[in-house]
Structure 1
Amino acid sequence: MPERVGVPKSEDEIPILFAETRLYDPSNKDKREIALKYCQEVLELSEAEEGLVRLLYYSDASIGRKHSGAFSVSQRGIRGTPQDWITNSSFMGEVVGVGRAELMGIVEAANMAVLRLRLMAASQTFQSCEVYIFSDSEEALSYIIDKPFSATRPQRAALYPLYDYLARLSHELVKLRGRLIISWMPGHKHTIEGHVAAD
């Protein structure tokens, strides 16, 4: 997990996050269908093309009265079978908001991607990599897109260390020739296996 980081005093101190983000306009009544279509398109991409590797992650979180958990699920390849899923689940000892738990899931997915790419770089050659992370949390994606400085002071104190760690992971992905794409997808009532497993 990230080391303790002080909240920045100005927007200039916020680290740059190297990521493409996809969050749909809340007023768009078709956003659910558009997001699911994009998710399906990503699923249909081949796992690897000449010199290109694609990694796919889904993250989800839940909170309860006495605990909250952040979950991230990855697949060995875009077209893997349900048995190919690698699941990493974390429970937090303190009760926190669902937004923080969701952001932890996204950060954990990015961390898993960095670790996997480091292992792959040692054993095989690839020229570039696309890392897709899907989350059903509009709150977490809004925080990432708007940057921590737009959040309230309590939100900043709780979420900024996670944002900072995600930004550092995105820098590491760039060094590993990776491109990070974080996208919103609707939760529940669909058949996207990876997200169902994360949920």
Structure 2
Amino acid sequence: MSDQSIKSRPVYQSLAMDLSGLRHLLVSDSPAYRFEAPPDREVEVWFVAGPDQEGRIPPSETVHERGFRSPRHLIDRLDHRLAQERMGLRLYVSGTEDFLWDVFNTAQRAGMTKQEIFQCHSGTRARRVACVHCRTFNHGVTTTIVRCDGCGANLFVRDHFSRRLSAFMGVKIDAEVAGEVPPAEQAYS
């Protein structure tokens, strides 16, 4: 089963440095992601260390790298950093879709414009699904139908992506005929 009526999924590009920026910050939910910068430009890199690194984040190779224990920890520190930032910063974000938009929303609340924020999807295509009935977020969804962790409804995962919620919308699939639920298809890996 496919939802072809609404396509609000963002389109992403590879990251490339915006030379009009004065300062450059790359944030990633993976320690492996990097991009090439001209030799005359410095890029500060913030990354989420893997779960096996919890409590053992190694010291940075340079003063321009910083590891965090979780995406939430990184975003909290980014919020603090952006509150003190001046004009001229360019923010580059790499990671899963929910991470990209959590960072984007944090940056916009701090006053950054969408022209100053660059996003590149990397990693899993699993989706964060917001139940429109109980407002629970269901994480790591890879199928077209998922049982809501909050209300237990069988949700059809729509292709409608809410940038504000950083999630795809999930609607009750058996609202018309209770219990009539088609088999789920593996769709997002």
Establish whether TM, by shorter chain, passes 0.5. Answer: no
Query: Could you say which structure has the higher strand fraction?
Result: 2
- Relative to the length of structure 2, the TM-score reads 0.32
| Bigger-Rg structure (1/2) | 2
Task: Identify which of structures 1 and 2 has the higher relative contact order when contacts are C-alpha pairs closer than 8 Å and 6+ apart.
Answer: 1
Q: Kindly indicate which of the two structures has a greater share of residues assigned to helix.
A: 1
Q: TM-score, normalised by structure 1?
A: 0.31
